[in-house]
């Protein structure tokens, strides 16, 4: 049996998916503090890289295929307290939808102005810089 403590210590990989001047966000059914809309993300599985986890989570949560481009950095998220690893990801294909209906309520492709509406707190600096350069 897995220890919950060990499970909670695993980092969370987030896929920052930009395509055609928009970024993909998902809305979780259950909020973590003020977190509701966020990047497709999930815990890195044992033996899995953060890149691999971000690619897997994009498909599992939002039904889109992506390839990892590069790491954007990591931090302890001020809202969730979890170690986050952000992965810039290239959209390969698929139709974005709430693929994991138990966990995800909806998805949205957002332009720069919409991101500030959906995410009402400052993004991690390197992620914001990446979005500024690509949206």
Looking up residue 67, the CATH number of its domain turns out to be: 3.90.79.10
The confidence score (pLDDT) of residue 33 equals 64
Q: What angle is formed at CA 134 by the lines to CA 130 and CA 135, rounded to 5 degrees? A: 115
pLDDT class for 34, splitting at 50, 70, 90? Answer: low
* Residue recorded with tokens 């693929």: 99
Number of domains in the chain: 1
The answer to whether position 23 is within a domain reads yes
Is the per-residue pLDDT at 6 higher than 70? no
The answer to whether position 134 is within a domain reads no
Mean of the per-residue pLDDT values for the chain?
Answer: 90
State the pTM of this model: 0.90
pLDDT class for 76, splitting at 50, 70, 90? Answer: very high
Enclosing domain of residue 92: 4-128
Mean pLDDT for 42-69 is 97
Is the per-residue pLDDT at 122 higher than 70? yes
DSSP 8-state class, residue 5: H
């Amino acid at each position: 049996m897995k220890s919950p403590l060990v499970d909670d210590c695993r980092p969370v990989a987030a896929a920052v998916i930009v395509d055609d001047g928009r970024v993909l966000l998902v809305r979780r059914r259950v909020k973590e503090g003020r977190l509701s809309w966020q990047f497709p993300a999930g815990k890195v599985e044992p033996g899995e890289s953060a890149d691999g986890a971000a690619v897997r989570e994009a498909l599992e949560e939002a039904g889109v295929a992506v390839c990892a481009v590069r790491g954007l950095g990591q931090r302890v998220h001020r809202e969730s307290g979890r170690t986050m690893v952000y992965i810039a990801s290239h959209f390969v294909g698929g139709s974005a939808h709430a693929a994991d209906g138990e966990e995800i309520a909806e998805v949205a492709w957002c332009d720069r102005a919409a991101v500030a509406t959906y995410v009402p707190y400052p993004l991690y600096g390197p992620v914001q810089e990446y979005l500024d350069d690509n949206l």
